[in-house]
A and B are shown apart, each in its own frame.
Chain A
Amino acid sequence: MQQQNRWVRPLLFVLGIVVISIIFMFIANFIAQARGASTFDTTKWMPFLLVGAVIAYGLGVAFGDPALWSVETRQVVYAAVGAALYGVFSWATNIFLVPSVSLVTVRPAIVIPVFFGFVYGPSVGFLTGFVGNALGDALTGWGVFPVWDFGNGLIGLIPGLVLAFRNRTRASDIALGLVAVVAILASVWLLVGSDVVSPLSGATVDKWVALTLIGGLLIIAGLRYGLRNRPEIASAQVWGGLAVFLGIGFASMADIWWNGYNFTTAFVGEFVPAAGTDLLNVAILLPILLTAWNAAQARTGR
């Protein structure tokens, strides 16, 4: 098949997403009307749909290369090894290393999906996180939590996107630029504009969200320029941090819909303990693991 232009390739995909979203909105509108709720308004969702389509197109342009996502023999074996490692380490820490009161545990093992994603690509990372989390829970005897399996999959997938860029420094720069744009736009919107109503909870979004975003931006900038001489570690930290933030964020926010928690519960009860400890684990263990891997690679010549 002829190699398609990277700018054209995602168009059909984005069009499909938009059509499906519009169909879903009509169904949702229908349900809302049947329930007698008048709050559901299609025009209010249109801007979100448009922004979503633009983001999807951007993602398609940046990461749509089929080679990035291919699953060949190497990827199959690395995904299997990663998943088994993640499963065994989570099980070991669940059982006897670092006992914790809740299901959200201090798990040093979180470094495994981030590392496998960062080194072997998004497919390997996703399978490592998704399957590994399910294996760990199954070994421990905790049941199956699909939303959290998927969130862990994202933690592996996102660092793998780094491979789409020319080099590690550029990957850090892109992450820095993206977060900067989001943080600045959101801050201007939150601090200068009128009250923003979240479509998710219906509550007014607090102004401190802007401060958190700017704080994140400063951390990423610090890593990018502070670790200038170690570009690989800098980009691993930046993308690993983003991955934990988005992956755990996805899982805990999806629980609002899935389990019916409110935002406070999802945030205080799930997001903060899980993302906090995971970020710490990744920040400490990922550089050590990467350094050891580079040394091992140099030694074996593979």
Chain B
Amino acid sequence: MIATWSYKERDSFIQRLDPRTRLVGVVLLSLAAVFLWDVRLLLIPFVVAVCQLGLAKLTWRELRRFWIFAGALFFFLTALTLLTGRGGVGVITTEHVFWRGQFGPLVVEMSEARLVFALSQLVRIFTMAALAVVLPFTINPAVYGVAFRRLGLPDSISFALDLAVRFVPTLARDFSLTLEAQRARGYELERAGGIIKAIRHTAPLIIPITIGAILKSEDVIDAMNLHAFGSKQRTWSQELRYQFRDYAVLALCLVIFVGSLTIAISGHGGLWVP
């Protein structure tokens, strides 16, 4: 079993952008969606998110797991909110109940406001999820460290990020080695009884890998200390430079963010009921 990053080289506009542009842009657009509840206004960040998805040239196979799992969960939670009352905090101010039903102890009320709320909620959630899901597929794991360093994080944290990404393939290999070694000793992961037994059953895998990784990391610490890690500012071998397209994308995201913030502060971004 090999851990593979979902990133690969794709000749796409999105991947030619600077990773910092991508991260900042996604944060700005997600916040723009959070401020709004009017479904007509939400369509703006939603369309940008869909454009990003299209420009990233991802295939259905790559995103299948996201659409099935995340999609099902979002529909379930939105439906649960719709059936159990008003969602959000103070989003629905007035409503006109046109249908009321009782299922056992649960009273279900329907109003136009709640239906529109559920629609806006789905658009919001899918906008934010679709904006973010593209990132791991299109940002090279090797540039996370330098990207966050250039975004202003301290060297130590950025280096920890970089190291974590580098440790993943090794630890995933340790995982499959340990799994096979334990299987050779008669360990059967799949045959677990109840939930408590199932959890206890993971101990022969989790414990040796964790302890082994901690003991090995002592060598990494020694090596880093011998290289005087943290004694002064680090330099990073990769350089990041903004191009014209980065400024253009950042400007677009900033305009949407500021627009959304202004609309929210002026009190026009609330729920829109036709």
- Binary contact readout A201-233 vs B (1 if CB under 8 angstroms, 0 otherwise): 110000000000000000000000000000000
Of A72-80, A160-168, A169-177, A183-191, which stretch is located at the interface?
Answer: A72-80
Cβ–Cβ < 8 Å partners of A260 in chain B: 37, 81, 87-88, 91, 117, 120-121, 124-125
Among B89, B160, B161, B199: residue with most chain A CB under 10 A: B160
Q: Quick one: which of B37, B63, B161, B267 contacts A36, CB cutoff 8 A?
A: B267
Cβ–Cβ < 8 Å partners of B157 in chain A: 71, 76, 127
Cβ–Cβ < 8 Å partners of B164 in chain A: 79-81, 83-84, 87, 131-132, 135
Q: Are A108 and B207 in contact (CB under 8 A)?
A: no
Q: Are B217 and A77 in contact (CB under 8 A)?
A: yes
- Binary contact readout A74-109 vs B (1 if CB under 8 angstroms, 0 otherwise): 111111110111011101110001100111001011
Asked whether B133 is an interface residue with its Cβ less than 8 Å from the other chain, the reply is: yes
- Binary contact readout A19-40 vs B (1 if CB under 8 angstroms, 0 otherwise): 0000000010011011111010
In the assembled complex, the Cα of A98 lies from the Cα of B257 at a distance in Å of 40
Cβ–Cβ < 8 Å partners of A83 in chain B: 160-161, 164, 167
Q: Are B84 and A289 in contact (CB under 8 A)?
A: no
Cβ–Cβ < 8 Å partners of B270 in chain A: 35
Asked whether B238 is an interface residue with its Cβ less than 8 Å from the other chain, the reply is: no
Asked whether A8 is an interface residue with its Cβ less than 8 Å from the other chain, the reply is: no
In the assembled complex, the Cα of A98 lies from the Cα of B160 at a distance in Å of 29
Asked whether B229 is an interface residue with its Cβ less than 8 Å from the other chain, the reply is: yes
Q: Are A141 and B63 in contact (CB under 8 A)?
A: yes
Q: Are B215 and A300 in contact (CB under 8 A)?
A: yes
Q: Quick one: which of B63, B165, B213 contacts A85, CB cutoff 8 A?
A: B213
Q: Are A139 and B210 in contact (CB under 8 A)?
A: no
Of A47-55, A243-251, A264-272, which stretch is located at the interface?
Answer: A264-272
- Binary contact readout A39-69 vs B (1 if CB under 8 angstroms, 0 otherwise): 1000000000000000000000000000000
The residue of chain B having its C-beta at the shortest distance from the C-beta of A296 within the complex is B211
Q: Are A80 and B163 in contact (CB under 8 A)?
A: yes
**Chain B facing A: main interface SS:** helix
Asked whether B9 is an interface residue with its Cβ less than 8 Å from the other chain, the reply is: no
Q: List CB contacts (< 8 Å) of A257-289 with chain B.
A: 257-262, 264-265, 268-270, 277, 280-281, 284-285, 288-289
Asked whether B48 is an interface residue with its Cβ less than 8 Å from the other chain, the reply is: no
Asked whether A7 is an interface residue with its Cβ less than 8 Å from the other chain, the reply is: no
In the assembled complex, the Cα of A32 lies from the Cα of B161 at a distance in Å of 41
Among B77, B128, B164, B200: residue with most chain A CB under 10 A: B164
Asked whether A242 is an interface residue with its Cβ less than 8 Å from the other chain, the reply is: no
Cβ–Cβ < 8 Å partners of B225 in chain A: 73
Least CB distance, A28 to chain B, in whole angstroms = 10
The residue of chain B having its C-beta at the shortest distance from the C-beta of A96 within the complex is B1
In the assembled complex, the Cα of A292 lies from the Cα of B218 at a distance in Å of 17
In the assembled complex, the Cα of A269 lies from the Cα of B79 at a distance in Å of 11
Q: Are B124 and A259 in contact (CB under 8 A)?
A: yes
In the assembled complex, the Cα of A277 lies from the Cα of B202 at a distance in Å of 14
Q: Are B87 and A261 in contact (CB under 8 A)?
A: yes
In the assembled complex, the Cα of A81 lies from the Cα of B224 at a distance in Å of 14
The residue of chain A having its C-beta at the shortest distance from the C-beta of B209 within the complex is A85
Least CB distance, A282 to chain B, in whole angstroms = 10
Least CB distance, A74 to chain B, in whole angstroms = 6
Asked whether A138 is an interface residue with its Cβ less than 8 Å from the other chain, the reply is: yes
Least CB distance, A66 to chain B, in whole angstroms = 14
Q: List CB contacts (< 8 Å) of B27-53 with chain A.
A: 30, 34, 37
Cβ–Cβ < 8 Å partners of A109 in chain B: 206
User: Interface residues, chain B, CB within 8 Å of chain A?
Assistant: 1, 3-6, 30, 34, 37, 62-63, 65-66, 69-70, 72-73, 76-77, 80-81, 84-91, 93, 117, 120-121, 124-125, 128-129, 132-133, 135-136, 154, 156-157, 159-168, 170-172, 175, 189, 195-196, 198-200, 202-203, 206-207, 209-211, 213-215, 217-218, 220-221, 224-225, 229-230, 264-267, 270
Those 4 A-B pairs whose CB atoms lie nearest each other, nearest first:
A34-B267, A80-B163, A84-B167, A143-B133
